[in-house]
Structure 1
């Protein structure tokens, strides 16, 4: 069992996280799966990789069904949990952080049914062959091809288009952070696409825009307004760059800790989408971030 865990935990965590959009749920899934398989005699498992992946996929599909019901009454926009590396070389975060789908892709996955999402992640993100995908989700190879085609259409991805979306480089994010710190409205606007969209997730627990905010004028004003408000209310407001889902992102906080994480999707050198997670339940991994509270 320890050998299987050491060999497949990276793959299984990637699978569970990308199926659920939650690192916390992914960890719970892995724990449940390995507890259930503990009493299974190893000689009865001919192909442990496929066996474990099937167990994880089925458990995640159960979670997705219950999650979809909860999101029907979720306050405002729902966004996936950002994934921050802990810096611990032995942690699951450090193992998988460079191999995840981009955050923008995780958001698009929310448009899919559980079966479509499973096929997309298994085939496009993890590289399983169609016949393997079919065996894992108990569907024919032909059906899996149709599910993948339908998933790509829902996500707005052409049949031959690469799945990796363009994300902001560290230099771009640093320049954007500099403009925010200076309060330079014109520079901020120059880095945003005219039709930029900002989506924020407060979960009804903290202040966040209930609906997406559109146009660069409104997005720029909102960002500066929130930053100034945080400076006045909390004091010692700060912005830093961290790696989230393998790409540079911004975290906003104060001496009280991190209160927002912003992932930026860039096209043609301009920010096209900003996803801002403010729900404290989704920022558990950022609570111990060491930067804030230091002058």
Structure 2
């Protein structure tokens, strides 16, 4: 079992994380599956990858159903929990396409039903064949194809269209932060699309907008006010770090040993179209 754990843990964690959007839930699901696998007859583990993936998938489907009920009571928008990833190729990036680890993709996955999300992740992120997916879910191949098509439609991805995110370069981010710190409203607005959206997750435990903020002028003002608030609340004792999270460059705001927030940016034609701010301390504890 230790050998199976070493061989498949990264794959199973990635699958569970993509299905739940929670590193904590993903780790619990993987641990639970390996504990239960210890009692499985060896004959049933002749194809361990398929069997373990099916166990994790079933566990996560149950988690997704209960999570939907909890999120109905969640304070403000719910955003996925960020995870640290390496800029170099790792086991995780070998088993899942790097663009499908992106934070924006995780947010899009929230539009799907648990079954649609499972089919999309297995097919698009992990490259499972339709017969494998059908076997894992106990469905017909044709049904799985329809589920994938429906999932792509809900996510706004056309059939056959790549889902790669536009890369955010460090130099570009540095200029953006400099403009914010200098209070250069015009330059900040020039880096935002007109229909830009800012979404923050405080979970009722940190100050955050309870509804998405839209349009470049409103978002620019929110960001500039945010810098002013940081200076006031932390007496200027805060700093920005560029950290590889979810396979991309993110901005982590820290004050001493405290992680204050994580910012993700989704670009469209070189401008910010979406910005996600994770402020819920429960989702920052691992960073």
Q: State the Cα distance separating 1:169 from its structure 2 match.
A: 2.2
Residue 256 of structure 2: aligned partner? 255
Offset at 1:182? 2.5
Indicate conservation of the 8 Å contact 2:76/2:210, yes or no.
yes
TM-score by length of 1: 0.91
Taking the TM superposition and a 5 Å limit, the aligned residue runs for 1:3-18 are 3-18=3-18
Is residue 101–residue 164 contact of structure 1 (8 Å, CA) maintained in 2? no
Aligned CA-pair RMSD: 1.8
* Cross-structure match for 2:223: 223
Partner of 1:292: none
CA apart distance, 1:101:
2.2
Contact preservation (8 Å) 1:174, 1:241 = no
Mapped to 1, the partners of 2:42 and 2:27 lie a distance apart of 23
* Aligned partners of 2:84 and 2:244 also within 8 Å: yes
Query: How many residues are paired up?
Result: 282
Answer whether contact 1:264 1:274 (CA < 8 A) is retained: yes
- Residue in 2 that maps onto 1:96: 92
**Counterpart position of 1:199:** 199
- In the alignment, structure 2 segments of 5+ residues that lack a partner are none
8 A contact 2:86–2:244 mirrored in 1: no
How far apart are the structure 2 equivalents of 1:208 and 1:54?
38
* 1-structure distance, mates of 2:224, 2:241: 15
- Once residues 67 and 253 of structure 1 are traced to their aligned partners in structure 2, the CA distance between those partners, rounded to angstroms, is 29
For the residue of structure 1 that corresponds to 2:101, the secondary structure is coil
Correspondence for 1:238: 239
Which secondary structure state, in structure 1, belongs to the residue aligned with residue 116 of structure 2?
Answer: helix
Displacement of 1:86 in angstroms is: 8.3
Question: What does residue 154 of structure 1 align with?
Answer: 154
**Secondary structure of 1:284 counterpart:** coil
CA distance, structure 2, for counterparts of residue 254 and residue 224 of structure 1:
18
- 1:71-150, aligned counterparts within 5 Å? 71-85=71-85, 95-96=91-92, 99=98, 100-150=100-150
What CA distance in whole angstroms lies between the structure 2 residues aligned with 1:116 and 1:201?
24
The alpha carbon displacement at 1:70 in A equals: 0.6
**TM superposition shift of 1:190:** 1.1
Cα distance per residue 1:188-233 (max 9 Å; x no partner): 1111111100000001111101110011111111111111111112
TM score, norm. by length of structure 2: 0.94
* Preserved CA contact (<8 Å) 2:242 2:252: yes
1:282/1:86 Cα in 2 relative to 1: closer, same or farther (>3 Å)? farther
Aligned to 1:281: 282
